Amino acid sequence: MAQAKRLLVERAIEQGIRAERGGARRGARSVTVNLAESPLGWLFARGHLSRRQFDAGERIRADYERGQLGQRTTMRWDAAPVARGRGGSGGGIDLSGSQIDARARFDAAIGAAGPGLSDILWRIVCAGEGMREAESALGWPARAGKLVLTLALDRVADYYRIA
């Protein structure tokens, strides 16, 4: 438990030192991230999740962010689409191939978790809600979310083939 927390802190410090020593390209920015800030990192640092479950959660969160599936906090400033023909819309969102692939992986991973488990998985891993908030939003009793989350993360780890 303490070793997992130490590993998270060491990884964040190591990333910061590497950036200070010139590991980053000139002109590029580097950011030191406290990996224990996320609810998933918090659970892992305290020994409630295995390394496999933590890695599965990080993979699905990465696909969620790469696919730009989160809510927008500001207005889109893209040019307004021009209507083509009668009653036609100006087209849809222009997504890159990697975004489309990430969305497909995310949808498949959520599907692999299952309908009863994907709710808590999304709330904790992708939306960043705390366990208490997620449990109360779903109307679940206290301490039920952790068990369901670990089951969902095991299924997601199987989907991503994490050993």
What pLDDT digit, counting tens, does each position of 46-58 carry?
Answer: 999 999 999 999 9
The pLDDT confidence band at residue 88, using thresholds 50, 70 and 90, is very low
Section 64-74 average pLDDT: 80
The reply to whether 89 falls in a domain is: no
- The CA–CA distances, whole Å, from 147 to 40, 45, 127 equal 13, 17, 18
What is the domain extent for residue 134?
38-70+96-163
Q: Are residues 20 and 63 in the same domain?
A: no
Q: 11 and 56, same structural domain?
A: no
Asked if residue 83 belongs to a domain, the reply is no
The pLDDT-based confidence of 90 (bands split at 50, 70, 90) is very low
Q: Are residues 133 and 102 in the same domain?
A: yes
pTM: 0.67
Task: Please indicate, yes or no, whether residues 31 and 8 belong to a single structural domain of this protein.
Answer: yes
Give the integer Cα–Cα distance in Å for 65 and 67: 5
How many structural domains compose the chain? 2
Residues 6+ apart with CB under 8 A from 20: none
Residue 80 lies in a domain: no
In the predicted structure, residue 151 carries a pLDDT above the cut 90: yes
Do 61 and 31 reside in the same domain of the chain? Answer: no
- 59/10 same-domain check: no
Is residue 105 a part of any domain in this protein? Answer: yes
Residue 84 falls inside a structural domain: no
The reply to whether 48 and 104 lie within a common domain is yes
**Does residue 61 fall inside a structural domain?**
yes
Residues 62 and 23 both lie in one domain = no
Q: What percentage of the chain carries pLDDT values higher than 70?
A: 64
